[in-house]
Chain A
């Protein structure tokens, strides 16, 4: 059974700091890995999707990497802003189904 773990569970940083969120998974037989953002009381917004054959994806200040063999992914956020405050979820796709981590709650304070 696939298990996805995200570390840390919560993170508080000052504005402008670069930060890294970590995601690990137990079964490397995945099709892709997706990072989502969830604002309080809202749905999930897809940030980045990395196919199993890819090593990284970038979108603006976000960069996600994938090391399938070691079962790890990182989400790098550059020059963090208060608007980045949210819960970040990692999910891996295997056999048509997503398995989610429990998320990292990020707070960026001015």
Chain B
């Protein structure tokens, strides 16, 4: 049982390049989330999904797209990276029910030059 895994662990991009971050969970959770963590800003929700084939915007969705084609995977895409997207990205999944517990992946460090 690997929990929540993220790929890659670290990436450097040039402004304007695109990339996809992959999140996978093996706990059969319906809910999955993408956050970004920046110094002094805490964790902020980018997008989330309440089940396969569904996605919704969070607090800071601009510049990102997501897809949930399979229940176990949640992809975060950057179509045209900007230096403001330099951050640490965390994925999480949640146990059922409104009072569920969130489990986090180890994070992806992204540097956009």
User: Mind listing 27 A-B residue pairs with CB under 8 Å?
Assistant: A34-B101, A34-B102, A42-B106, A43-B90, A43-B104, A43-B106, A44-B90, A44-B104, A46-B103, A49-B99, A49-B101, A89-B42, A89-B43, A91-B43, A93-B99, A93-B100, A93-B102, A95-B98, A96-B50, A97-B45, A97-B48, A98-B45, A98-B102, A100-B44, A101-B42, A102-B40, A103-B42
Q: Is A52 an interface residue when CB atoms closer than 8 A count as contact?
A: yes
Inter-chain contacts of A76 with B (CB < 8 A): none
What residues make up the interface of A, taking CB atoms closer than 8 Å to B?
31-32, 34, 36, 42-46, 49, 51-52, 89, 91, 93, 95-98, 100-103
Report the minimum CB–CB distance from A66 to chain B (whole Å): 12
> What is the number of contacts between chain A and chain B, taking CB atoms within 8 Å?
58
Give B residues with C-beta under 8 Å from A: 31, 33, 40-45, 48, 50, 58, 90, 92, 94, 98-107
- Assess the B43–A43 pair: CB atoms within 8 A: no
Bound-complex Cα distance A45 to B44 (A): 17
Report the nearest B residue to A50, measured CB to CB. B99
Contact, CB under 8 Å: B98 / A93:
yes
Partner among B33, B99, B104, B106 whose Cβ is within 8 Å of the Cβ of A31: B99
Across the two chains, which residue of chain A brings its CB closest to B50? A96
User: Bound complex: CA of A102 vs CA of B40, how far in Å?
Assistant: 7
Contact A46 B107, CB 8 Å, known A96-B31, A96-B50, A103-B42: no
A100 touches B42 (CB 8 A): yes
The distance from the CB of A6 to the nearest CB of chain B, in whole angstroms, is: 9
Q: A102 contacts B41, CB within 8 Å?
A: yes
CA–CA, A43 and B37, complex, Å = 10
Q: In the complex, which residue of chain A has the Cβ closest to the Cβ of B43?
A: A100
User: Which residues of chain A are within 8 angstroms of B99 by Cβ–Cβ distance?
Assistant: 31-32, 49, 51-52, 93
Query: Which one, B40, B58, B104, contacts A97 given CB within 8 A?
Result: B58
Set of chain A residues within 8 Å of B48, measured between Cβ atoms:
96-97
